[in-house]
A and B are shown apart, each in its own frame.
Chain A
C-alpha cells in the first residue's frame, strides 16, 4: 500500500504543486478506490493503471472546481518570475523537499494546461508507457504523443520566460 500511496501522492503533488492539496486528494483517491473496488475489472488494465485513472479523474475534477479561484489569482501574476526562496510562498520544509531546479520545473508545470500537464507528468515523471497513458487518459495513442510533445515544448518555453536556462 505504501508503494501505491507514494506514487499517487507524487502524481497529485506534481499536478497541484501544493503539498496539502496533494495529501487531501491522495486520501480522496484511496477512498474512491476503496468504495468502487467492486467495479474494478482486469480489462481496465492492472490495478496500478486503474488507480492512476481514478487519480487523474479526481485531479481534473479538482482543477475544474478550483478554476475560478485560479483565474482571479492569475490576474496578479501575468509575468512569471524566477522563484527564489524568499518569494516562493512555500514553507521552509517544502523548499527543502525539492531540489533547486526541480522546484522551478514544478512551478512551470502548474502553469501548463491540465491536458498537457497530466500527459507530461505521466510520461516524464512517472515513466509510464504510451499504452498505459492511453488507458489512463482514455484517448488514442496519437493524441497521447501529441499532448506529450506539446507539453514538453510549452514547459520549456515557460522555463525560458522564467529565466531558467537549460543545463
Chain B
C-alpha cells in the first residue's frame, strides 16, 4: 500500500514538473500541491489550535511543556551525536537527560542548561548528512512540511526511535503526541508571521530557508562558506 502511494507520488510528480525549474526541487509541481494542502490544514486546524494555546496558556506553563518534551528528545540527540563521532556532546546530552529528569522534575525544569550543559539540535537526517549523504530532491511532506529525501528517511528513523512511541495505552500516547505537536506549532507562530511579511513567494522563501537551515545544522552552525557569485 505504501509502495503504491509512493509510486503514485512520483508519477504525479512526472506530470507536474515544468522545464525551467530549480535543480534542487525537481518535484516542484507536486510539492506546491502538497504545500497548498498543508496550508489549508494549517489555516483550519493547526494554527488556530496553536493560537488558542499561545493566548490562553501562560508562558511559564508553555516553557515547562517545551522543557518536558525537549528532555524526552535528549537521549536520542545524544545517540545522533555519538553516531556523528561527537562523544563529548553525546555525553552532555545524556547528562542533561539524567539531571533534568531527576532534579528538573521529569524534565519540566532545564537545570542542565543553568549548569552550563547546552541543549543540542540533532536528528537522523543531520547524521546522514554528516556521513556524507546528499540531500536528494526537496520534498514537501503532507502535514510534516519541508523536507528532502535524506531528511525524510531521517524523519522515519526519528519516528521509530521516538520515546513517545513506547507510551501505552494508545490514548495516552496520542494525547502526548498531540500536545507536542501543538507546542511545536505554537513555537513557530512568530516565524510564520515573519514568513507572511517577508516572502514574495512563500513556497520559495520557505524552501530556501529550509535548505539553508538544514545545511547549517548538519555542520552545527559552521557550514563551509558558500560563494556569493
Pair from one complex: no
> Taking beta carbons and an 8 Å cutoff, which residues of A are in contact with B?
none
